[in-house]
A and B are shown apart, each in its own frame.
Chain A
Amino acid sequence: MMNRRSVLKAVFTGGLVAGMGVLMPRVAMAAWSKIAFEAKSQDAAMGALYGADPSASAEVTLKAPDIAENGAVVPVSVKSSLAGVTSIALFVANNPQPLAAQFTIPEGTLANVSCRIRMGKTSDVTAVVTTASGVFSASKEVKVTIGGCGG
């Protein structure tokens, strides 16, 4: 599955994405970002979306199980007490495509979303919240006994 060519390609897109992120940060926030969703590493996906690494914040709450018996269905919810949250994104570091979902939060919608994700194996799950003042995140490790990606 992971041959030399795909590794090189991932490295190349990662670099390209990082460069583009600097030039035009957060332009196409709401559109489905092919680069970000198909990125093979969490850094590349985050770079495509934010152009910078998010800083950890205690005001972002990620609720996920400690042990997920079935990786095909892992319930997670993200909450934030930060003001003016504009978007929430979920990353699973060890998935083939780490970016799981991206939620755009318009004014009048609470920064509190739940969904169910798929996890290939034990991994850190990271929630990233963007506000007018920056990009914040919270992570949690979820242990998976049966993987849910492919097979």
Chain B
Amino acid sequence: MAKGILRAKAKVKGDNTVVKIMAKHAMETGNRKDKSGNKIPAKFIQTLSIAYNGKTVMETNMGTAISKNPYLAFTFVGGAKGDELQMTWTENTGASATETAKIK
């Protein structure tokens, strides 16, 4: 899997930080069939966890019922402009990566 599938926007709002993440991913369910009737194997993001200053602020487990190009929005208390968020994702195939985003 190519690097950099996550696109994140994190913004400080008062005492909180609002995080919006979109992942570029087909989220293949394993239920779909190709033209010749063969099942397309499942390939989807299983977990996505976001850490700030070494502390996990959000952990997501996703199933196949998440739309393609998954979107996730949440808010956590704290966070400062210029700091980094670490976002780690794992696919059901075992592939995984950690990407970072700056808080604005």
Task: Say how far B43's CB is from chain A's closest CB, in angstroms.
Answer: 14
> B58–A104 contact, CB under 8 A?
yes
Residues of B within 8 A of A115 (CB): 66, 70-73
**Size of B's binding interface in residues, CB under 8 A:** 31
Closest to A114 in B: B73
Of B31, B63, B67, B75, which is in contact with the most chain A CB atoms at under 10 Å from its CB?
B63
Bound Cα distance A73, B27 (Å): 12
Closest to A71 in B: B67
> A30–B59 contact, CB under 8 A?
yes
Say which residue of A33, A114, A118, A150 sits within 8 Å of B71 (CB atoms).
Answer: A114
> A151–B32 contact, CB under 8 A?
yes
Residues of B within 8 A of A109 (CB): 57-58, 74-77
Q: CB within 8 Å of A: which of B44-68?
A: 46-47, 55-68
Residues of A within 8 A of B64 (CB): 37, 96-97, 118, 149
> B60–A108 contact, CB under 8 A?
no
> B65–A149 contact, CB under 8 A?
yes
Say which residue of B16, B46, B58, B76 sits within 8 Å of A103 (CB atoms).
Answer: B58
Residues of B within 8 A of A (CB): 16, 27, 29, 31-33, 46-47, 55-68, 70-78
Name 18 A/B residue pairs within 8 A (Cβ), A-sorted: A30-B59, A32-B47, A33-B61, A97-B64, A100-B66, A102-B62, A103-B59, A108-B76, A109-B77, A110-B16, A110-B76, A112-B75, A114-B73, A114-B74, A117-B66, A118-B64, A118-B67, A149-B29
